[in-house]
């Protein structure tokens, strides 16, 4: 009976994995087809008549300014994720260790921010962004920090509750200030959770289209905005170049995830269950 249950679970997981991998595989396969065959034969492996080699990649790179967009996306993503991880970890530590009405209210404010739809605040946010001069790659990192703080503080807080206070008390006895205690004792323990938060926010920020489009627009095109310009007049789309650019866009996130994936389950579980 256990063997049957084991086989059933693994069969289900294999099927589920295939369903997730299938769309990515189709994008990759179609990136090597002529655009005239992508709509008519989307599920077929490219052969002599449909295979165009790297032509779609060359065309897409020339049409979108992909390398410039890649650098802007990389700058915004790295700076935003680093800010989110650092500042939300510090905030969660303060909220968890200092118990009063203010920190309790602050915690629930962060939790509440997770359920507020972006569409409710995007027009007001755009106006404030322009007024404060945040409509640039550096300013948008502050906006991402605000939108990413809710979930990140929630995850960090759950993990910090499970860290024994005796470790911090020992550090204090050894002469550490609260700041030193956090960076030398607490933050290294938060490594699995910090990597989890980094992965979740990286996938979101790297692939985000709406927020950069509303704030920095065409002046500093990120990859999603650059790819959107493959759509021509009257709804025409160069599907071959589009598939090629989507393939290039997803590769950095996949590499980052594969490097860090061993921490994500551990971090999410610890952040959601402890405390």
Structure tokens at 178: 């609260």
Please name every residue paired with 51 in a beta bridge, in sequence order, or none if there are none: 33
Quote the pLDDT of residue 274: 43
Structure tokens at 104: 């309790």
* 29-60 tens-digit pLDDT: 888 888 777 777 777 788 777 787 788 888 88
Structure tokens at 217: 């627009």
* CA gap 28, 62 in Å, rounded: 19
* In the block, residue with structure tokens 């700076």: 79
Quote the pLDDT of residue 272: 45
* In the block, residue with structure tokens 């959770």: 193
For 119-124, what is the mean pLDDT? Answer: 83
* CA gap 78, 202 in Å, rounded: 8
Structure tokens at 142: 């502050």
Cα 71 from chain centroid (whole Å) = 16
Q: Which residue has the higher pLDDT, 1 or 32?
A: 32
Say yes or no to pLDDT of 271 above 50: no
* CA gap 206, 223 in Å, rounded: 8
Q: What one-character DSSP code corresponds to residue 183? A: I
Structure tokens at 21: 């991998």
Quote the pLDDT of residue 267: 53
For 199-213, what is the mean pLDDT? Answer: 90
Three-state secondary structure of the chain: CHHHHHHHHHHHHHHHHHHHHHHHHHHHHHCCECHHHHCCCCCCCCCCCCECCCHHHHHHHHHHCHHHHHHHHHHHHHHHHHHHHHHHHHHHHHHHHCCCHHHHHHHHHHHHHCCCCHHHHHHHHHHHHHHCCCCCHHHHHHHHHHHHHHHHHHHHHHHHCCCCHHHHHHHHHCCCCHHHHHHHHHHHHCHHHHHHHHHHHHHHHHHCCHHHHHHCCCCCCCHHHHHHCCECHHHCECHHHHHHHHHHHHHHHHHHHHHHHHHHHHHHHHHHHCC
Percent of the chain with pLDDT over 90: 18
In total, the chain counts a number of residues equal to 275
Is the distance from CB of 264 to CB of 196 less than 8 angstroms? yes
At 231 the three-state DSSP class reads strand
- Average pLDDT of the chain, as a whole number: 84
Q: Using 50, 70 and 90 to split pLDDT, how confident is the model at 120?
A: confident
What do you get for the CA distance between the two ends of the chain, in Å? 36
Domains within the chain, CATH numbers bracketed: 55-273 (1.10.3720.10)
Q: What one-character DSSP code corresponds to residue 182? A: I
Say yes or no to pLDDT of 77 above 60: yes
The dihedrals phi and psi of 237, each to the nearest 5 degrees, come to -135, 130
Instruction: Look up the pTM and report it.
Output: 0.84
At 49 the three-state DSSP class reads coil
Say yes or no to pLDDT of 234 above 60: no
């Amino acid at each position: 009976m256990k063997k049957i249950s084991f086989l059933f679970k693994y069969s289900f997981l294999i099927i589920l994995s295939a369903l997730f991998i299938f769309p990515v595989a189709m994008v990759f396969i179609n990136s090597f087809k002529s655009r005239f065959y992508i709509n008519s034969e989307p599920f077929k492996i490219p052969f002599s008549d449909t295979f165009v080699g790297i032509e779609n990649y060359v065309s897409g790179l020339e049409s979108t300014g992909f390398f410039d967009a890649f650098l802007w996306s990389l700058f915004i993503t790295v700076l935003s994720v680093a800010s989110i991880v650092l500042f939300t970890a510090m905030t969660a530590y303060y909220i968890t260790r200092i118990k009063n009405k203010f920190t309790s209210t602050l915690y629930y404010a962060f939790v509440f921010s997770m359920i507020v739809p972006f569409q409710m605040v995007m027009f007001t946010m755009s106006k404030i962004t322009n007024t404060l001069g945040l409509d640039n790659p550096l300013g948008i990192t502050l906006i991402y920090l605000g939108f990413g703080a809710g979930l990140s503080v929630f995850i960090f807080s759950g993990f910090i509750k499970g860290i024994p206070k005796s470790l911090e008390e020992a550090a204090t006895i050894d002469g550490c200030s609260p700041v030193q205690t956090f960076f030398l004792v607490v933050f290294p323990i938060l490594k699995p959770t910090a990597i989890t938060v980094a992965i979740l926010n990286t996938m979101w920020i790297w692939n985000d289209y709406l927020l950069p489009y509303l704030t920095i627009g065409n002046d500093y095109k990120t990859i999603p905005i650059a790819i959107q310009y493959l759509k021509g007049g009257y709804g025409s789309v160069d599907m071959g170049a589009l598939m090629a650019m989507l393939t290039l866009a997803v590769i950095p996130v996949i590499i980052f995830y594969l490097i860090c994936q061993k921490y994500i389950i551990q971090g999410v579980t610890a952040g959601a269950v402890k405390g």
